[in-house]
Structure 1
Amino acid sequence: MPAGFWIKALDEDDLQDVCRVEQTVFPREAWSEVMLHEELIGPFRVYVGVFDENNQMVGYAGTMHSPETAEIMTIGVIPEARGHGLGKAMTQALINASRILRTDSIFLEVRERNQVAQTLYEEMGFEEISRRPRYYHNPTEDAVIMRLLLDY
């Protein structure tokens, strides 16, 4: 974890912080408070948050697990905290949780224009396996589907 930051598993007590980060990172496509609450308490979910030295949440990420696979549902870091490797740290935490749960593979979707994220995921071993045309809106663009195969 980069100096000055710490990470923890999230639960419903962190809902307001998650909502604040969600609104900051995804203002046009933010999930509702109800949706975020369901994610935090839902079965087969793992969510982590990153906090700064003032104990303010600056990012969060989460996965949904099935017996064989996991899907990264979201990863977000507020603009002021970007560039410190926090997205990578949270992704690695989710990968580690997936390994503990003996997941075979992890999937994610990323905007086709988000080259920074795609490069990060490729460096972590994810590979593009398909695309969903016009999946995202504001602006409309394809979703790049990526997968990481876990070996044991």
Structure 2
Amino acid sequence: MAGAFVGFISRSTVLDETEITNVAIDPAYQRQGHARWLLTQCLAQLSAGTVFLEVRAHNVAAQRLYQQVGFEQIATRKAYYQDPDEDAWIMRKIID
């Protein structure tokens, strides 16, 4: 549908470090490549530096997407999320 809200991505950048704070796609549009498109467009706007994000430990689909675009898991934050309590994977991508 033309003009439909599909999703968004948000980020915060300070000097050469960026944190992707949210990637959200309307459930009706998930698994159609929209998150990948938003993510690659966001990354393309960045110059050299490091990009970080957190993802729920059970969110395997998001973890795969992030890994496919070059992120790697570097740590785990125990009980980072609430309702339900869940660990977060901290992921990083280095842009040359």
Task: Sort the TM-score into its range (normalised by shorter chain).
Answer: over 0.9
- Of structures 1 and 2, the one with the larger relative CO (CA 8 A, separation 6+) is 2
Which residue is 2:13 aligned to?
65
Tell me which amino acid in the other structure corresponds to 1:134.
A
Q: Which residue of 1 aligns with 2:51?
A: 106
Counterpart selection for 2:60 from 115, 127, 145: 115
User: Structure 2: any 5+ residue segments left out of the alignment?
Assistant: none
Q: Deviations over 1:10-44 (max 9, x none)?
A: xxxxxxxxxxxxxxxxxxxxxxxxxxxxxxxxxxx
Q: Deviations over 1:82-132 (max 9, x none)?
A: 11100000110110111xxx2411000000000000011001110000011
Q: Which residue number in structure 2 is paired with residue 75 of structure 1?
A: 23
| 1:92 corresponds to | 40
| Whole-angstrom CA distance in 2 between matches of 1:138 and 1:78 | 20
Aligned twin of 1:150: 95
Q: Indicate the RMSD between aligned Cα atoms, in angstroms.
A: 0.9
Greater C-alpha radius of gyration: 1
1:127 to 72, 76, 80: 72
- Normalising by structure 2, we get a TM-score of 0.96
Verify the 8 A CA contact 1:70 1:103 in the aligned structure 2. no
Aligned residue type for 1:63 = R
Runs of 4+ aligned residues of structure 1 deviating over 2 Å after TM superposition are none
User: Which string of whole-angstrom CA distances, capped at 9 and with x for unpartnered residues, describes residues 29-83 of structure 1?
Assistant: xxxxxxxxxxxxxxxxxxxxxxxx4202110001100111100010000110011
Work out the percentage of aligned pairs sharing the same amino acid.
32
Q: Counting strand residues as a fraction of each chain, which structure ranks higher?
A: 2
Matched, 1:55 2:3: yes
Q: Conserved in 2, the CA contact under 8 Å of 1:133 and 1:143?
A: yes
